[in-house]
Amino acid sequence: MSDIQNIEPKEVFYWFSKINQIPRCSGDEKRISDFLVSFAKERDLEVYQDEMYNVIIKKPGSKGYEDSDPIIIQGHMDMVCIKGKESNHDFTKDPIEMIVEEDILRANNTTLGGDDGIAVAYGLAILDSKDLKHPPLELLITTNEETGMDGAHALTNEHLSGKILLNIDSEEEGVFLVSCAGGANKITTFKLEKENKSGNGLEIKVSGLKGGHSGMEIIKQRANAIKLLGRILEECNRNSDIRLSKIQGGTKHNAIPSEARAVILTEDNPTLKKIIEDFTKDLKEEYRVEDSGLNIDINEVKVENIYTKELSDNLIDYIMMVPDGVQYMSKDIEGLVQTSLNNAIIEEKNNNITIITSVRSASSSSLKEVLNILTIIAKRTKAETEEKNSYPAWQFDEKSKIREIAVKVYEELFNKKAEVSAIHAGLECGLLKQILPNTDMISFGPNLYDVHTENEHLSISSVQRVWRFLIRLLEELK
């Protein structure tokens, strides 16, 4: 940790190191939330912690800025917790092990927590400073952003008075986000019905895929492990009488699944193995660019307690019929996805088989269309559905002043053009705009790569530049 703390800006990486010592997976934020409260109390700063463990810390304006309008600096304290197959990391108790490689800061085969720990680090560094010039500050750090924005859903405006909000949850330096997609999760449930039948079977495992964030990286057309597994199972089912015994894939609702597996009962293992091997060649050719690491393993296993024929067929049909990936591109912004969906998780749970599909769209009507399509497919395959974790889109504000100021400051500092854009992912700005309708908002951040994977890494020099930008921006907002 000492090596990390010696990186400039030291005040930022000091706090990033500190918070990465504290486990903070989504849903396990009490320890990091209490740490933030203690930080504030030790400095006699006004602090509020609600039942969801959201934290608001207030700091008066510096000399000459006392009467300026308050500025909200906002991020989230939770992180996506994913590790590589060889990692023994325990996210419930182990600190994140960080590694510096030239300009890159990464973790040891786990997610780094830069999303969105870097926002927390920036915020704490500013609150801890003695000599920075800034208006009155309200540091808002939310919980459970990665699993449904539960913290932001629970917020009220009771302790927030800022007229400008700086969301630091973007991943490309010099790109200022001014709009984002809304979305919802569709939960499809099949009643688990089994027969007491045993025999020889096959375990089919799809692995080696890149995965990634289901909003930011859906446009890259990477393979979805659940969909590939469904295609393999359908190929088997057309050529032989198979029964599913187990099926599982994906771990996070907002991550493209990189692995999936199924166990099937079949009376003709050699023939099916040949069919799968031949089909694997086709799939590898199909994804030779986007997912060259695709691997499909087939192992002979003993099978017990198989799914009923009806359930087995319905599951395979559902996975095959349900759409996946980009559905519509934006008609307003070139290269921006308007509507997409990600079949994120399939698992046995509470005597059911549950499939979670994350749907995103900047258009409420298009979002409704895709959700309705999923409902119809579920109905045809005798499954039940419900919608959870919906969140609104953040609409573009033509009159935004902070957008103009931020672009001007960035371009003057670094002598290069800034970009104003929108994002095909959910930011908390959509929810925050509902409780703070008159607050001008913008989102930015340093270069952060491969988020929501064990390859997540952060550009050190970009963290430095964004720190310089943030300091200058606060000075300008007098």
Q: What is the pLDDT of residues 282-318, one digit of tens each?
A: 999 999 999 999 999 999 999 999 999 999 999 999 9
Which amino acid is present at 477? L
Least confident of 259-273, 311-325, 429-443: 259-273
The Cα–Cα gap between 306 and 303 comes to: 7
Could you tell me if 269 and 202 are in contact, meaning their C-beta atoms sit under 8 angstroms apart? Answer: yes
Q: Which residues of 161-197 are buried (b: 16+ CB within 10 A; e: fewer)?
A: ebbbbbbbbbbbbbbbbbbbbbbbbbbbbbeeeeeee
Please identify which of the residues 78, 146, 440, 450 carries the catalytic annotation: 78
Least confident of 1-5, 388-392, 408-412, 443-447: 1-5
Q: What per-residue confidence (pLDDT) applies to 411?
A: 98
Residue range(s) of every CATH 3.30.70.360 domain in the chain: 184-391
In the predicted model, what is the mean pLDDT of residues 52-65?
Answer: 98
pLDDT band at 364 (very low <50, low <70, confident <90, very high): confident
Report pTM: 0.77
Q: φ, ψ for residue 119 (rounded to 5)?
A: -65, -40
- Give the pair of three-digit tokens for residue 151: 């913290």
Q: Which of 226, 216, 78, 47 is CA-nearest to residue 140?
A: 47
At the topology level, CATH places domain 2-181+394-476 in: Aminopeptidase (3.40.630)
| β-sheet bridge partners, residue 166 | 73, 442
- Give the pair of three-digit tokens for residue 255: 């991550």
Residue range(s) of every CATH 3.40.630.10 domain in the chain: 2-181+394-476
The Cα–Cα gap between 58 and 49 comes to: 12
pLDDT band at 333 (very low <50, low <70, confident <90, very high): confident
Q: Which of 230, 279, 251 is CA-nearest to residue 358?
A: 251
- pLDDT value at 203 more than 90: yes
Is-catalytic flag, 169? no
In the predicted model, what is the mean pLDDT of residues 53-70?
Answer: 98
pLDDT band at 351 (very low <50, low <70, confident <90, very high): very high
The Cα–Cα gap between 118 and 99 comes to: 16
Chain length of the chain: 478
Q: What per-residue confidence (pLDDT) applies to 250?
A: 97
At the topology level, CATH places domain 184-391 in: Alpha-Beta Plaits (3.30.70)
Is-catalytic flag, 145? yes
Q: Which residues contact 183 (CB under 8 A, 6 or more apart)?
A: 358, 359, 360, 361, 367, 390, 391, 426
Please identify which of the residues 145, 169, 171, 456 carries the catalytic annotation: 145
